[in-house]
Amino acid sequence: MSKRISSVEQYEALLDSYDTWLFDCDGVLWRGDHLIDGVVEVLDILRRRNKKVVFVTNNATKSRKSYKTKFDQLGVEAHVDEIYGSAYAAAVYLSSVIQLPKTKKVFVIGMGGLEEELRDEGITFIGGTNPADNTLEPFTLADFTLDPDVTAVVCGLDTQINYTKLSKAFQYLTRNPDCHFIATNEDSTYPSAHGLLPGAGSISAPLRYALGRNPVCTGKPASTMLDCVKAKVQFDPARTIIIGDRLNTDILFGQNGGLTTLLVLTGITTEEEITGPNPSPIVPDYVTQALGDFRVVETAT
Ligand SMILES: O=C(O)[C@H](O)[C@H](O)COP(=O)(O)O
Ligand SMILES: [Mg+2]
């Protein structure tokens, strides 16, 4: 059973118990480009109390560097080495886990941020934002030549998705049985500033259905992202808490990593998914309405 927190004492107890604080982004810090109330103040409280702050987002549309620009534009203090995204996790998975040979390529369904992380990991790719693939022209196999060097397809949130990209990815994944199928993340929806939109999981869904095959997911809840954090940040899981808005990514990610989990209700998950009548089997340790709730520890003094 989750513990619903709301008192100064409860927030103070969490602040005393955890040295490292992992934050999901979409639905916790912001919705689209709309900053959620109280986020800046609470992150400032954590930094003044010498807490380690880490951002872990499944949003693969931006690289860590371009996320730093978003943080700056929204007035949220963040350092590039505190930011971990599913685009980065996918690139590290390809370079370090699969150890993709430098002579091989990746076909990308995704946006500039994913391409930037692949490039920074020395991975050659085709597709993605290439204008020739971002077309509404009819796709015909008569005009398609398979690139024999493509040995992986990576699929992330792509707001320019189209039949051409899906068809080319399908060719690579069916004509080469050894072609890796990787999803940066499988979030079904994305909490934009004005409401829900299809998420990355809904972009890869047509391929999963057509192929009858699921991708390897490198974003939350998979451990790849936490492995990327561990490679750069020293932390004790027993004194680490993750704050997220989605049960089957953020909270499950925390549970898989042995972290304490705190769910906020400013993004995807609703109160009913916690309290019932049909509550989710994924049960966070703590629930609070919003990250900004922690401000009471300073307004109360
Ligand atoms: O791909 C998606 O659907 C979105 O990027 C999703 O919102 C994940 O972002 P996060 O909540 O992990 O920051
Ligand atoms: Mg989120």
Residue 133 known to be catalytic: no
Query: Virtual CA dihedral for 78, 82, 84, 89, nearest 10 degrees?
Result: 150
Q: Show the DSSP H helices in the chain as ranges.
A: 8-17, 39-48, 64-73, 86-92, 112-120, 163-175, 200-211, 224-230, 252-256, 271-275, 296-299
Could you read off the pLDDT of 78-126 as tens digits, one per residue? 999 999 999 999 999 999 999 999 999 999 999 999 999 999 999 999 9
pTM tops 0.90: yes
Residue ID of nearest Cα to ligand 1 atom 2: 199
Q: Give yes or no for residue 202 having a pLDDT over 90.
A: yes
Residue 227 known to be catalytic: no
- Taking the CA atoms of 70, 72, 77 and 80 in sequence, report the sign of the dihedral they define: positive
Any idea which ligand is nearest the CA of 183?
A: 1
Could you read off the pLDDT of 60-71 as tens digits, one per residue? 999 999 999 999
Could you list the residues known to form a binding site for Mg(2+), using ranges.
Answer: 24, 26, 245
Return the percent helix, strand and coil in the chain, to nearest 5. 40, 20, 40
Smallest CA-to-CA distance from 243 within 46, 33, 71, 8 is with: 46
What pLDDT, on a 0 to 100 scale, did the predictor assign at position 44?
98
Residues with a CB atom less than 6 Å from ligand 1: 24-27, 57-59, 157, 185, 187, 190, 199-200
Which one from 26, 133, 158, 293 is the annotated catalytic residue? Answer: 26
- The topology under which CATH files domain 103-217 is Rossmann fold (3.40.50)
pLDDT band at 217 (very low <50, low <70, confident <90, very high): very high
What pLDDT, on a 0 to 100 scale, did the predictor assign at position 105?
98
Report the phi/psi class of residue 141: left, alpha or beta, with left for phi > 0 and alpha for psi in -120 to 50. alpha
Give the pairing of strands 216-217 and 195-198.
unpaired
Query: Could you tell me which CATH number the domain at 3-58+221-299 has?
Result: 3.40.50.1000
Spatial distance between the Cα atoms of 66 and 45, rounded to a whole number of angstroms: 25
Span from the CA of 266 to the centroid of ligand 1 (angstroms): 13
Retrieve residue 91's tokens: 């690139």
Could you read off the pLDDT of 218-262 as tens digits, one per residue? 999 999 999 999 999 999 999 999 999 999 999 999 999 999 999
Span from the CA of 301 to the centroid of ligand 2 (angstroms): 31
Portions of the chain given CATH number 3.40.50.1000: 3-58+221-299, 103-217
Mean pLDDT taken over the chain: 97
Neighbours of 172 (CB within 10 A): 22
Neighbours of 49 (CB within 10 A): 12
Longest C-alpha distance within the chain, in Å? 72
Mean pLDDT in residue range 26-55: 98
What pLDDT, on a 0 to 100 scale, did the predictor assign at position 154?
98
